[in-house]
Structure 1
Amino acid sequence: MPNSTLVMVLVDLVIIMIAARVFGRLAEKLGQPAVIGEITAGILAGPTLLGPHLSQVLFPPDARPVLSVLANLGVVAFMFLAGLEVDRNSFTNQRAAIPAIATAAYLAPFGFGCLIAATALTRHHTGANTVGFVLFIGCALAVTAFPVLARILVDRNIIRTPIGQMSLACAAIVDAAAWIALAVVLMLVAPTGGHWRWALLAPLAVLVWWGARPVLDRLAAAGTGQQVLVLAIGTALLLAAVTEWIGLHLIFGAFAAGLIFPRAHRDSAENGAVVVSTLLLPAFFAVAGLSVDLGMLDTTGVGELAVVLAAAVGAKIASVVVVGRLAGLDTRTAAALAALLNTRGLTELVILHVGLTAGLTSTSLYSLLVVMALITTAMTAPLLHRIHLPHKPIQSQDFVRTAKAGTRQADID
């Protein structure tokens, strides 16, 4: 790497981290999750505000591949933490309302997303697999941002309430369905030459769940805190590399690593992953934002954004409220649950970026969907206030277990 490129990458990282911190704090002062400000900072670093020329000067072509690698490392850390925070018991929860509501929260926006992809958004089809494009848009509208949702619940001091626990359980199921759907989409559009690797996916999944998980339990139990940290990082990187090699995407391996890592040793694993995520995830916002150009938004685009928002918000909220009421929830609780599950945030951004790099969507539609992710996430706090759900701010923390334990504070904004 030329010396000038290295210098530019380091300068870019400083700019990115400062911008993410400033905009994140500003978002918090406005009653929004910090991720809203951080994503906005990434968008403003691109051609939307700076224009193509200045954006190229600040983030030159030689520096972008390096920033992309660093951004992917940040995403690996984020997805590992997301997997680590999933309560595996959520998937076998016996309360009938949870699987019913989660199914509705996923299938309704997924169906409407597929419908508008096949009708209103056809001009954005890039020539990739048509079925893949339709399913991808459905997946993009269906997702719920589990980590951002957890942050909102922590900030409102309702994470340990029934509505908080129910929303987390539903979000875990919805996100699992979204990742599975995205995996299917990537299989459909994968180059034909590498299809043989997909045959390894099922045996590898069995090996990881029933083979690697017990081994990790024993290794973590025998190691010190520092050794557990190395084990966690190594597991996340290895599984991310395996799924990337298969053609799936590194996010799946990182998420799986967090899912199987021993819960008894979460403190040591989280400490390192939070640091990596803090330093490098803002780079992902910037890399993702460089592909967003809202200056391209014309009258047709505004109409498409309205259609996307109507489908994403209407289907998600209506389905959760209706099924929630049928499952025995009162109207206020069902409405609050719908507002919470309408949060998309960072998880949405990861999915959209995967779709863009896989050639599943145009840059203009990608920009529209990023705006949709911002708006739907920003809607959550005002909707909860409107529903009169109690808001008791507490000191910022980031993940579910942190709030439950109440033993340490973390700030990864």
Structure 2
Amino acid sequence: MAAAAAAAATDPLPDLLIAVPAVILLCALGARLVRRAGQPPVVGEIAVGLLLGPSFLGWLLPGAQEWLLPASCLPYLGLLIFMFLVGHELRIGSLRAQSSTAAAVSMTSIALPLGLGTLLALGMYDSFAPEGMERLPFVLFIAVAMSTTAFPVMARILVDRGMYRTPLDVPALACAAFDDVTAWCLLAAVVAVSSAGSPMEAVTTALSAVGFALFMVAVVRPVPARLTARAERVSTDGMVLVVLFSGLCLSALATDLIGVHALFGAFLFGAVTPRGSRVIELQTARLRAFAVPVLLPLFFVTTGLRADVGLPAADPVQWLWAGAVLAVAVPAKWGGGTGAARLAGRSWRDAMSIGALMNCRGLTELIVLNVGLGLGVTGQDLFTILVLMALITTAATSPALDRIREGMPEDALEGEEAQVGEPVDGERRPDGVQGTVGARAGGARPAP
């Protein structure tokens, strides 16, 4: 009897059955409230996560946050499915069509924050680097954190504002897609350097990751295509779902064993999964319908549980560093994107709009920050500062875009190019977004 009582006392299931629906409902409420203010729902979900963490709930009721979402229930499964969906939503044809503008804007809006972020990280190292953390991985991580753009959230902002049939749509999404891919590659390099015990191990990890990516393209990519063709002939849709889910898990396991994060494996599997197939689109929609609105909010809450606004609040010097982070993150990203778009021939109105959209960090930044915290590259204090930066830059995107679009004269060319957002090379538009990953990444679209 005593053993049974002890087992019941340590059984997390009862608490979990209360906590999970409570978290999901609170995130849905937060998303609904900020939508009324014209913000992407991800802002409300991040804010709910912060409120449920040590910043507020943990301060009022110490220990309540551990009950709310036990550490054994970290929602990585939803995050893996989300990364698979992000990889699947990349539209190569649209990237090719906008390759010159997208590459220029993306590289500039990454290179400038990388450079300035490196200088900032060198100054922050003594104050924020965890004990035993070497300078190189710390500096690389901060530089990458300064340079990310949330492709799915940005896509959702465009859709919410009815801008997906304007000249701004495809180039902005193509720039963000280039940015996303580059950021994941850079983060993979940071993970390899952080996890490796020596420079040779880091090189080996990087080469193994490249080899695995080539294997996925050359060997694995044809398999789902053949399975899809067979499924459409004999109506075995359920088997496709099993293969997709198993494939993303095995691919995630492979990259985790290689020494880069499991998220990269899920992203790679999504990138090599065939597009345009009725069966594939149906099964990815099923994955999305459950994982993104139900599992992904748990990730936001987990992020909130790890962040503690009380840490910088107790030390005015940390607020100065938080200001320095914003002073680097916003001008570098926004300014770099605007300048490169202008040099690529865009009007000032469109160039500033693209710069504002590239400054949106959103969910992508939170994923990067959680990877860094999990690796021990940052401590909770710097993690909190960077989470606040992600929240502020994401929340600022919509009002900034409204001011730019309303306050600057419209170019005459824009009316003539109103159909620039049409499908490219027969592929579906890159805002994928039409009810897919981008729709939820910025927040849940209300059910019809």
Return the match for 2:239 from 224, 227, 239.
227
Give the structure 2 partner of residue 59 of structure 1.
66
Return the match for 1:351 from 368, 376, 379.
368
1:22 is aligned to 2:29? yes
Report how far residue 237 of structure 1 moved: 1.1
Return the match for 2:294 from 279, 285, 298.
279
Give the structure 1 partner of residue 311 of structure 2.
296
One-letter code aligned to 1:382: P
1:182 is aligned to 2:197? no
One-letter code aligned to 1:203: G
Give the structure 2 partner of residue 393 of structure 1.
none
Higher Cα Rg: structure 1 or 2?
2
Give the structure 2 partner of residue 202 of structure 1.
210
1:161 is aligned to 2:200? no
Q: For residues 21-170 of structure 1, what are the structure 2 equivalents within 5 Å?
A: 21-51=28-58, 54-60=61-67, 64-68=70-74, 71-93=75-97, 95-120=99-124, 122-126=126-130, 127-170=132-175
Give the structure 1 partner of residue 355 of structure 2.
338
Give distance in 1, aligned partners of 2:56 and 2:246. 38
The TM-score normalised by the length of structure 1 is 0.91
| C-alpha spacing 1:107/1:402, structure 2 compared with 1 (3 Å) | closer
Report how far residue 233 of structure 1 moved: 1.2
Identity of aligned residues (%): 36
Q: SS of 1:248's equivalent?
A: coil
Deviation string, structure 1 residues 187-213 (Cα, Å, up to 9, x no partner)? 111143976666532332211111100
Report how far residue 342 of structure 1 moved: 0.7
1:388 is aligned to 2:420? no
In structure 1, list runs of 5 or more residues that go unmatched. 391-398
1:270 is aligned to 2:275? no
Q: SS of 2:168's equivalent?
A: helix
Report how far residue 121 of structure 1 moved: 5.1
Deviation string, structure 1 residues 210-255 (Cα, Å, up to 9, x no partner)? 1100111111221233222222211111111111222211110111
Report how far residue 66 of structure 1 moved: 2.4
Deviation string, structure 1 residues 75-100 (Cα, Å, up to 9, x no partner)? 01111111111112355445522211
Return the match for 1:400 from 431, 435, 447.
431
Q: SS of 2:63's equivalent?
A: helix
**Contact 1:84 1:266 (8 Å CA) reproduced:** no
Report how far residue 341 of structure 1 moved: 0.8
Structure 1 stretch displaced more, 77-86 or 347-356: 77-86
Report how far residue 274 of structure 1 moved: 3.3
In structure 2, list runs of 5 or more residues that go unmatched. 1-5, 411-429
Report how far residue 120 of structure 1 moved: 4.1
| C-alpha spacing 1:239/1:2, structure 2 compared with 1 (3 Å) | farther
The TM-score normalised by the length of structure 2 is 0.84
Give the structure 2 partner of residue 395 of structure 1.
none
Q: Over aligned residue pairs, what C-alpha RMSD do you find?
A: 2.4
Q: SS of 1:290's equivalent?
A: helix
**Contact 1:90 1:172 (8 Å CA) reproduced:** no
Give distance in 2, aligned partners of 1:10 and 1:344. 32
Give distance in 1, aligned partners of 2:434 and 2:55. 37
Structure 1 stretch displaced more, 82-91 or 141-150: 82-91
Give distance in 2, aligned partners of 1:51 and 1:402. 36
Report how far residue 400 of structure 1 moved: 2.2
Give distance in 1, aligned partners of 2:99 and 2:83. 27
Give distance in 2, aligned partners of 1:157 and 1:352. 31
Question: What is the number of equivalent residue pairs in this alignment?
Answer: 400
